[in-house]
Structure 1
């Protein structure tokens, strides 16, 4: 379905409140560590120390470093990848704003994009599941703004746009291409699709 808001709700929703609080404490600590250090430099014991929990406690919540950082990405991306039904702008304007927000988020935190790419190939089942959910939510959020095209076309357009965003960000962050190209190419796809929207959903 493309018509309703979507969210990055994880396994924490099933935990008792005190365990959700502890899990959030761990995720926030891991997030802070990634803002200061490269992923490769961070050890599970570093996360445990920042979260003020025993290492064994950390492993009860997350079976691996990859699992922790899949949860970190989901938490960090929440403001960008949640559809907002209260936004009354025409759909094409919302899409342009969404694309800019996604690219800007990773431009500001290129290390997070590198972790995102790394975890897409994770062999940890829990991390892999969370990354699959991450990609699904990103696609469904974009499809929400394409919904005027009909369900199947909205889904197809969202999958293509998410793939384009990943490709242009990889070129910019991993291979040094100008970040301006990432913005231009991503928004160009929206411009190509815009004529298929009803007039009142195109905006200016």
Structure 2
């Protein structure tokens, strides 16, 4: 993609980020994003098939930005790396609950582009957790990663939507990892 097109695409994404910082996803109008990015609505749709597609990309970029902005933890055992990683995920959504809500809303999308982006995000998180569990000698590390990822998602839903204290979410993911520590080979 030529540099001017990459720059235009990034302006659209940045405008979408700004809009999400100021209001709920459901209230954001795609025409406002186009206007803020200084592009025609038709041009926006050449880059993104739908509002959902645009915001799936925003969610992915947010996750990548958050990951790169976090300081790297010191080397630790596999279980401690899993603990650090899941706590970082929970904390990121604690700081920006609108991104967790966006993730929940986008899960219902039938748009294949949205589903591809979300599948990639989930797969990456589970792969990293599985590598941490594998380093710790946990049997069936992919299963442990899938369960921890699902537990974190469920607990975050309770935290973001129902007011469960985030400290309780952190405590329970720690408890899960502690239980798994007994299952290491």
State yes or no: 1:44 paired with 2:25: no
- Are the counterparts in 1 of residues 148 and 176 from structure 2 also a CA contact under 8 Å? yes
Q: TM-score, normalised by structure 2?
A: 0.88
CA distance in 2, matches of 1:74, 1:99: 17
- Are the counterparts in 1 of residues 12 and 33 from structure 2 also a CA contact under 8 Å? yes
Larger relative helix fraction: 2
Structure 1 residue 25: Cα displacement: 2.2
CA distance in 2, matches of 1:137, 1:37: 28
Bigger drift between 146-155 and 162-171 goes to 146-155
Taking only aligned residues, the RMSD between alpha carbons, in angstroms, comes to 2.4
- Are the counterparts in 1 of residues 133 and 144 from structure 2 also a CA contact under 8 Å? yes
Q: TM-score, normalised by structure 1?
A: 0.80
Q: Which runs of 5+ in 2 are unaligned?
A: none
Structure 1 residue 35: Cα displacement: 1.2
Counterpart secondary structure, 1:88: coil
Which of the residues 21, 45, 48 maps onto 1:35?
Answer: 21
State yes or no: 1:25 paired with 2:8: no
CA distance in 1, matches of 2:79, 2:110: 37
Partner residue of 2:102?
115
CA distance in 2, matches of 1:80, 1:186: 20
State yes or no: 1:175 paired with 2:162: yes
- Are the counterparts in 1 of residues 139 and 184 from structure 2 also a CA contact under 8 Å? no
**How is 1:125-136 mapped onto 2 (pairs within 5 angstroms)?**
125-136=112-123
**How is 1:6-17 mapped onto 2 (pairs within 5 angstroms)?**
15-17=1-3
Residue-pair matches, total: 183
Partner residue of 1:68?
54
- Are the counterparts in 1 of residues 138 and 184 from structure 2 also a CA contact under 8 Å? no
CA distance in 2, matches of 1:194, 1:149: 8
CA distance in 2, matches of 1:79, 1:90: 25
Tell me the alpha carbon deviations over residues 39-64 of structure 1, each in whole angstroms, 9 at most, x when there is no partner. Answer: 01101111112222221111000011
Structure 1 residue 119: Cα displacement: 0.7
Q: Which runs of 5+ in 1 are unaligned?
A: 1-14, 199-204
